[in-house]
Structure 1
Amino acid sequence: MTILVTGGAGFIGSNFVLDWLRGSDEPVVNLDALTYAGNLENLASLDGDARHVFVRGDIGDRALVDTLLAEHRPRAVVHFAAESHVDRSIHGPGEFIRTNVNGTYTLLEAARGFWSTLPEAVRAQFRFHHVSTDEVYGSLAPDAPAFTETHPFEPNSPYSASKAASDHLVRAWHHTYGLPVLTTNCSNNYGPFHFPEKLIPLLIVNALAGKPLPVYGDGRQVRDWLYVGDHCSAIRTVLERGRPGETYNVGGWNEKPNIEIVHTVCALLDELRPDPAGPHARLITHVKDRPGHDRRYAIDARKIERELGWRPAETFETGIRKTVAWYLDHADWVARVQSGAYRDWLQRHYGETA
């Protein structure tokens, strides 16, 4: 028994791989292209662990994916690999189409080819789990009900449009070919190993360095925040008990405006790492809003609770404290990510510069 994880060196993917192997001896084949946000240091605790097989490669490489499926014969594919940063998608949408749309298509076709060769009993147990985002649903008015699994797709950025396209492909491969797929659409994740271009790690890193804390527009954009450990447990639950062809929204029940997140992080840093220069909130700096910035996301996660019994274990208060403490305790990791030194691993092992 083995699972194939794509994007398992990224933020959510590496947390999932670590979480999986803490609770199971079932091996993981980890396929990651190690683009800028892929970091094998996240998985350093697995060095020498035979249960973790790392393969550097692209999900768009059909021959490689076919080889991995034939060699390791996984019972499931858990698909995290994606370009995921909205700002980057605005400046360079092509890479998002290549990875999120074309890459998912290639992976689906490879999985379908492998699945079709399996004995009937094994075929019935196979799963293709596609990890997606609440951003495919677009933006909500302040008083609108939260996103349910039947909410229409209304993506507003190149990133969310590329993820919406991949969701549609996954659905179509189930309904057309019978591939047993599962899709989860999650809200904003936060926690350990988060690359410091996203809001929470950026706030922590900048505040510790005495740099401005950038807030888009008025900072009243609302997001639902999900601790990454809870997201991992939800994926395990859906993979184990989810119904093929179904979509499950995964949220933290933590709707908060961005400006509140900023003040919460500042207050925690004031408590845990006070700055002699004064409260960290002095560094808050409002900047011009980005194009197509969705005003509000909110996840209705009642379906996964009702059907599968999953609910997040962390409140925002417990999760954000754990997150700030983790960054304070892992200053070396942060420094290597910021300097790019973590990329030296690629040079040493592959003789190239990524």
Structure 2
Amino acid sequence: MENTSVVIDLGGDWCRTGLGGRNHPMLAVPEVIGYQSYPENPGPSNPKTRKIIGVANLPLLRQIPTEFLVQRREVTNWDAMETVLKYSYEHLKLKAEDHPVLLTGFLVNSLNHRQKLMEIMMESFNVPSVYIGNHAELCLFGSGFLTGLVLHSGTGITSISPVCNGKVKELSTKVFEMAGIDVSLFLHKALFNKNMNLDSLSQRNDMDIVKEKLCYVSKHPNQKDSAVDSVSSLPTMTALPDGKIITLAKELRTSPDMFFWTSHGDFPNLDLSSEVIETVIKCDTEERAILFSNVVLSGGNTLFSGFPERLLWELNNIRPHWFPAQIVSRPNRVFSHGWEGPSCPAYQPSTTNT
């Protein structure tokens, strides 16, 4: 195992870590830290609180003050993020200095973030080498393509990235600060008539449960008005960890429709299909057909039931008709940018560099 590359994916709310060459990460740690007061008198020279992290501590983290370390695509607490990385290495019993590292995640797009990540990995962990991979390129490689369009929608951002011959076209990439957290904010406001605390693990976790269990995307714009709803067999209620039963009306169950244009006045809107088409049309003429034919989905929001079908339906109805559209939606697409696919750099530790 020595010299095998370590893959670290810093996402919007989870830090996933594993060895290159595997099909999935070995560990997922929430990018949230809790602060628990010591029961005894700490004294003037001792800390008054201790830091709590890790999946095993999730029940405790739901009950104490917490801080999320990534807001949208910005790390807000680098010291705490370093603690999460240290926890990941220790939990997996890996010596950082023995393994080159592949870093991925949307936050690495910022120059300041890349520099800070390099500083932490090289100075704090003494890794032998670091490769900061582009999320969109790795997603495409993991799906077996060199040219295509990657549509990613995670916790904090949604993005559209054209990739041609293995290289992302940075100037054509679009990033929108509307994503899964916005669905959560809307649902929490509708259910409890108050704003959600973005640093509250319990509130964010509750809304994640509601979204995953009860919500879906209408497969076409008129589906929600149809007498026959193809997703009506999904449950309409679920229980939260505290025992509270949540029941969603149909208009709330289709709240992820906000990723596609909707006339609902209370929804934020993102006309995703039109943005995809506009992105492709701005690319070179000879690239457009293959970009439309390889639209690769990535991120948790694309796992909503009906999301791929809705996107395909809209692209086939408003796209230029001489470009056939095809959606690539692999079941394990949450991991496709770090562990999946024969062309992923995780399978080539010798290519890592500083």
TM-score, length basis structure 1: 0.30
Structure with greater contact order relative to length (CA < 8 Å, sep ≥ 6): 2
TM-score, length basis structure 2: 0.30
- From the CA coordinates, give the structure whose radius of gyration is larger: 2
Higher helix proportion (structure 1 or 2): 1
